[in-house]
Amino acid sequence: MKRERLTIEQLLGVDKFVVDDQEAHIRLNKEHCESCETKPCTFACPAGLFAVKDGAISFDHAGCLECGTCRAVCPKAGTALIWCYPRGGFGIHYRYG
Ligand code: SF4
Ligand code: SF4
């Protein structure tokens, strides 16, 4: 039986996100982001969760795929960007691997 290949949007559409409103698993210290010239997180995050608005970085952890790309590309990871996995029971629940 031939299986239909799903698009990225279709694959993400079947995943379930349990957002932790009490404790964000990724936090930004935005004062450190001000001197970040290229802001690679804004174009590297596959979920598009980083943006520059009115000259300042904005971020929302809801919808995070937990891929770690932002931590890998951030030149100030550990100071500007604090990254960890969500608490148990929270975060993305992948349905198609
Ligand atoms: S999170 Fe990292 S990559 Fe993104 S703007 Fe801040 S310092 Fe730059
Ligand atoms: S872990 Fe991945 S999906 Fe989540 S904010 Fe970072 S780059 Fe975006």
Ligand 1 atom 2: residue of nearest CA: 74
Pick the atom of ligand 1 nearest to 73's CA.
3
* Burial grade of 43 (CB within 10 A; 0-12, 13-18, 19 or more): exposed
> Where are any strands of DSSP class E within the chain?
16-18, 26-28, 50-53, 56-59, 81-83, 91-93
Rounded to an integer, what distance in angstroms lies between the CA atom of residue 9 and that of residue 30? 30
Closest CA to 28 of 85, 88, 82, 87: 82
pLDDT tens track for 3-58: 788 887 887 888 899 999 999 999 999 999 999 999 999 999 999 999 999 989 99
What's the predicted TM-score (pTM) here? 0.89
Residue 40 identity (one-letter amino acid): P
pLDDT of residue 16: 92
Q: Is 70 in the pocket of ligand 2 (CB under 6 A)?
A: yes
Domains of the chain and CATH, by start: 8-93 (3.30.70.20)
Give residues (CB < 6 A) around ligand 1. Answer: 28, 32-33, 36, 39-41, 57, 74, 76, 80-81
